[in-house]
Amino acid sequence: MQKFLTALVLIPLGLIFIVFAVANRHLVTVSFDPLEPLNPMGTVQMPLFVLIIGVAILGVIAGGVATWVRQRHWRRAARRHQAEAIQAQTQLANLRASVVTPAQSEPKRLLLGQGSAAGRRDKTSAAL
């Protein structure tokens, strides 16, 4: 389903780019020298659609980088919380392994105490 939706979006978008490129294929002069308008040093001649699509791509990249930089606080907090959760899980596993519950230890004591004479009560001396 996702491939279908991707194709549903990308095919019309590709057709729009092709129509835009055919309609704007004349050359424009792009100058990077604002001080010398009559004889600029840094000029490039390119089709208009290349310029517009190139600027759009650079804008998307700049926006992505800016968003990534602004989210560094949240990524750092997520890494810190993940490390704390792993540490807490490790401590919990160690505590569970080291703790012996009373229900597990009492049958062992009773089994050990039943065979010895010291563990039995003397019924005759209890009545006195």
Asked whether residue 44 is domain-assigned, the answer is yes
- Side-chain half-sphere exposure of 8, counting CA atoms within 13 A: 5
β-pair type (27-31, 43-47): antiparallel
Asked whether residue 127 is domain-assigned, the answer is no
pLDDT computed for residue 75 by the predictor: 94
pLDDT computed for residue 63 by the predictor: 95
Count of domains forming the chain: 1
Asked whether residue 49 is domain-assigned, the answer is yes
Give the predicted TM-score (pTM) of the model. 0.54
Q: Which domain holds residue 47?
A: 10-73
Asked whether residue 66 is domain-assigned, the answer is yes
Asked whether residue 87 is domain-assigned, the answer is no
pLDDT computed for residue 79 by the predictor: 95
Q: Per-residue confidence of the chain (128 residues) as pLDDT tens digits?
A: 888 888 898 899 889 888 988 888 889 888 888 887 778 888 889 998 888 889 989 999 999 999 999 999 999 999 999 999 999 999 999 999 888 655 555 555 555 555 555 555 556 655 55
Asked whether residue 94 is domain-assigned, the answer is no
pLDDT computed for residue 74 by the predictor: 95
**Distance of CA 91 to CAs 82, 101, 110, 127, Å?**
14, 17, 32, 52
Asked whether residue 14 is domain-assigned, the answer is yes
pLDDT computed for residue 99 by the predictor: 86
